[in-house]
Amino acid sequence: MSKNVNLKRTVFDKAKFNETVDTNFTQLQSELDPQFFDLSLATIEDFWSLYEKFFYEIPKEGDINSHEYLVKTSGEYIDYQPQREEIEALLEEIAELREENLEVRQEIADVVANFNENNNNNNTSEARSGVFNDKRRRRRRNRRS
């Protein structure tokens, strides 16, 4: 009385099954209304969570709702001075260095002009003395001959 029974079973690949079948209980959860946000219930932690979430979506520059706006308003609120003082000192130093640079350039231009003037005077004198010496040499040659 023994009877052989052939059993067939279908086996699913676990990764493919998880890709195909949603095993989460999403249907039992009520969906949150994204329009609902009660500011009176918000906490500082909520603010920082949202800030971190939207950090790269917040525009860098702009009069409102931007990183620039946050920096300006927060800086004004805490009266952030250290960098302003340092910037002012550096701007003054830049102005002084520009003035010194102009003075040095003027001095260099004056030196070059004086050098060129002296060099031209020397060349003229040498040229005159060279002509004079050439005439002397010719006279001497003429006398010898």
Query: pLDDT per position in the chain (145 positions), as tens?
Result: 688 888 888 887 888 888 888 777 666 666 666 566 778 888 999 889 999 999 999 999 999 999 999 988 998 888 877 788 889 999 999 999 999 999 999 999 999 999 988 888 766 655 555 555 666 667 767 776 6
Residue at 142 is within a domain: yes
CB burial of residue 16 (10 Å; 0-12, 13-18, 19+): exposed
Residue at 145 is within a domain: yes
Q: For the full predicted model, state whether its pTM sits above 0.75.
A: no
Residue at 79 is within a domain: no
d(C-alpha 124, C-alpha 118), whole Å:
10
Residue at 106 is within a domain: yes
Residue at 29 is within a domain: no
Please give the pLDDT value at position 34: 59
Please give the pLDDT value at position 78: 87
Please give the pLDDT value at position 129: 55
Structure tokens at 47: 């603010």
Coil, strand, or helix at residue 13? coil
Residue at 140 is within a domain: yes
Residue at 56 is within a domain: no
Q: Count structural domains, the chain.
A: 1
Q: Which domain holds residue 143?
A: 98-145
